[in-house]
A and B are shown apart, each in its own frame.
Chain A
Amino acid sequence: MIPFLALVRKDLLLFFGDRKAVVVGILVPIVLASFFGYLFGGQKGSAEMSKVPLLVVDQDGSDISRGLIAQLAGDKNLDVKPATLDDARESVRKGKATATIVIPKDFGKDAGRALFTAASKPQLDILYDPSHNVELGMVKGILAGAVMQTVSKEMFTGSGGREMVDESLAHVEADSQLPADVRKPLRDLLSSVKELNERQDERRTSGASGQAEVSGGLTMPYETHEEAITSGQNVEYNGYAHAFAGMGVQFILFMGLDVGIALLTLRQTGLWQRLRAAPLSRTMLLGSRTVSASLMAGFILAVLFTFARVVFGVRILGSFAGFVGVCAAFSLMTAAFGLMVAALGETPEATRGYSIMATLFMVMLGGAWVPTFIFPAWLQKLTVVIPTRWAMDGLDAMTWRGLGFSSALTPIVVLLFFALLFGGVAVTRFRWSVEG
């Protein structure tokens, strides 16, 4: 036991002895996690989302186009500004605006006509930045609702709408092509709209009160209530929890990599000869390194989450035992990963390159940078073979999702399986001989 403890103690002394490396090794993930946490939701989800910059070119100048612009400007997700067509194109090209909506001349008149008859529909041009496809979908959705509300309101209550109804009635009467079974209901509909408008006018003239005025136009027939499903009621999502888990996973993997490279370097030195000359078993030599690397990983995770708790209010809302279990299993997996790197590598220099690449793939596909739900469906299925995916799922489950210990069990078991797999490869492939 004395040699084992001495080996672990020595590794820890060397790790903590290099204070600059320790500080940088902890500071960098904290800075990055703080940044990513802010981007992906911020503290308790209260950070204001940036609005989509949208330009509107109004070539119509009608009540409907003005109403449409006002409707768009009232949306909390949009930052609407008027522009000329040339300026708008330039702004989108330079990335200053995400999209531009061009309202063509006679849009109001044509849209109103198209609402009741088979007249051709006017076209709204949307000029957009192709790097903002997601926002484009959102803009189109908001635009559809705004157009329907504005046009229908004008048709039912506006002066332009009355003219349009009269015109449409005349058109229906004059259209000899219109089948009789269509003509009658269409005439009835337009006559009813006309009558409704006349009654509204009478009420306004007589100053009648006490009765609700019929709201003009079509409105959305529903309202939404949004509720973030987190660990409990009134517990808001904290984006920093995922960010700190992600950066912790990334930097601990890099630490595991360093452990492997250091072992490869050690094999080329007299220190390795001295260790091998001592009466120490191979299990003890690799086992002690596994324990020390796991302790270092656990330390880094503890510091990161303590910082996240104190500064950003990240809490372990799920099972604390589950959280510790996931951290421990991931730390062990990382240590085994480092040993595998040492076992498979030829020289430190050659190994560093490909193992950094492998680590970055694991980090990226494991969802440490961005959550895996952003990935395509096939990639989400594929990433279950990546151990970091399980670490991230486990840490998310135990922090902001606030799930119980049972939700940590699968990640723990999978991570331990990977630890065994990597450890097995390390033990069987490690080159013990010292070349003379």
Chain B
Amino acid sequence: MLEVKDITKRYGPLVAVSDVSFRVDRGETIGLLGPNGAGKTTTVSIIAGLLSADSGEVLIEGNQVKSDTDPVKLKIGLVPQDMALYDQLTARDNLTFFAALYSLAGAKAKHAIDDVLNLVALSDRANHKVGTFSGGMKRRLNLAAALLHDPQILLLDEPTVGVDPQSRNAIFENLETLKKRGKTLIYTTHYMEEAERLCDRIVIIDHGKVIANDTLQALHQLLPVTNIIAVELDLVDGFKPEQMLALPGVKSAELKQNTLRVGVHDLSREAPGVLRWLAENGHCFHHVSSEQPDLETVFLTLTGRSLRDS
């Protein structure tokens, strides 16, 4: 559906993206994950035809965007990171305008507008000025405006920036609906939980380069541990967690306050041995749970830096 091949973009001495490559199949959702300034927006801008790459190419169903008016652009819908709406106009006037940019008018435009307003649950606010909308409503309308011409590929550049959890959830539900409709989504974010919830595959970008490109499960395999056993101990006096590294299958062990975290690869095989060792050595515990490392840990493992601190 979409193939990004070795694209590079420089701004003077600064290399914004360097030899970035990935492909997205029809109906797939991929997350472009990386810290601010990693090159995500530049990559999306090149795919949308807003920027030309210094080298490399972007193919949409095998075709390059060759000019401003190339019909290939009809296959793409862009949801910019900044709100792209006219506050002074009503929601319907905004959508009528954006529909017209794709030559939609009359009944076709009305049908498309009603459809997208329904999808983002803003039908009842269609005739209200956008300036009166909450941040979350504007974000939903921002998404709706990109769907009017029914594009196959949707480029979403951090579409949940600055919205409350409830609105973010509403946007996720909209995107999940679009996934079910078979749309191809490319979603840039620096929120791990968003990528984990939505994406089939994750492309991690750092300093303009792709440093990982795989499914969530496969990325977890890159980690030294894939599961963590969290044990809340009754007494921790004299307890030395490094003693546990001698146990078979235990890759890490750390104690914070009274919670012991033990990293293992195979939970079902290693957990009984860990708990037995604790009991046999007189370390009573009152709560046991298991956790999976998140993408933050993946990023930390791959770059040596925390994603949010980058």
Chain A residues with CB under 8 Å of chain B are 2-3, 5-7, 9-10, 13-14, 17-18, 269-271, 273-282, 433-436
Contacts and interface: CB of A to CB of B under 8 A. Distances in A.
Contacts, number: 104
B71 interface: yes
Residue from A7, A278, A280 having most chain B Cβ neighbours under 10 A: A278
Residue from A5, A9, A17, A273 having most chain B Cβ neighbours under 10 A: A273
B107 interface: no
B64 interface: no
A433 B52 contact: yes
B51 A433 contact: yes
Contacts of B68: 276, 279-282
Contact of B100 (A6, A17, A273): A6
B88 A6 contact: no
B50 A2 contact: no
A291 to B, nearest CB: 15
Interface stretch (B76-84, B253-261, B271-279): B76-84
Contacts of A282: 68
A436 B44 CA distance: 8
B160 to A, nearest CB: 14
Interface in B57-106: 68-71, 73-74, 76-78, 80-86, 88-89, 93, 96-98, 100-105
Contacts of B11: 435
B73 A279 contact: yes
Contacts of A7: 101
Contacts of B96: 6
Contact of B103 (A3, A13, A271, A275): A3
Contacts of B97: 6, 9-10
B73 A277 contact: yes
B116 interface: no
Given A278-B102, A434-B45, A435-B11, A270 B86 contact: no
B71 A436 contact: no
Contacts of A279: 68-71, 73-74, 102
A280 B51 contact: no
Interface in B251-297: none
Instruction: List the 3 closest pairs (A to B, CB-CB), nearest first.
Output: A436-B42, A6-B100, A270-B80
Contacts of A269: 82-84
Given A433-B50, A436-B39, A280 B45 contact: no
B101 A271 contact: no
B89 A17 contact: yes
Given A3-B101, A13-B93, A279-B68, A273 B83 contact: no
B82 A270 contact: yes
B247 to A, nearest CB: 49
B78 A273 contact: yes
A273 B82 CA distance: 9
B219 interface: no
Contact of B85 (A271, A276, A436): A271
21 contacts: A2-B104, A3-B102, A5-B100, A17-B88, A269-B84, A270-B84, A271-B82, A271-B85, A273-B82, A274-B98, A277-B78, A278-B98, A278-B102, A279-B69, A279-B71, A280-B68, A281-B69, A434-B51, A436-B17, A436-B44, A436-B50
B86 A271 contact: yes
A13 B82 contact: no
Nearest to B129: A17
B86 A276 contact: no
B9 to A, nearest CB: 7
Contacts of B51: 433-436
Contacts of A10: 86, 89, 97
A132 B96 CA distance: 62
B16 interface: yes
B298 interface: no
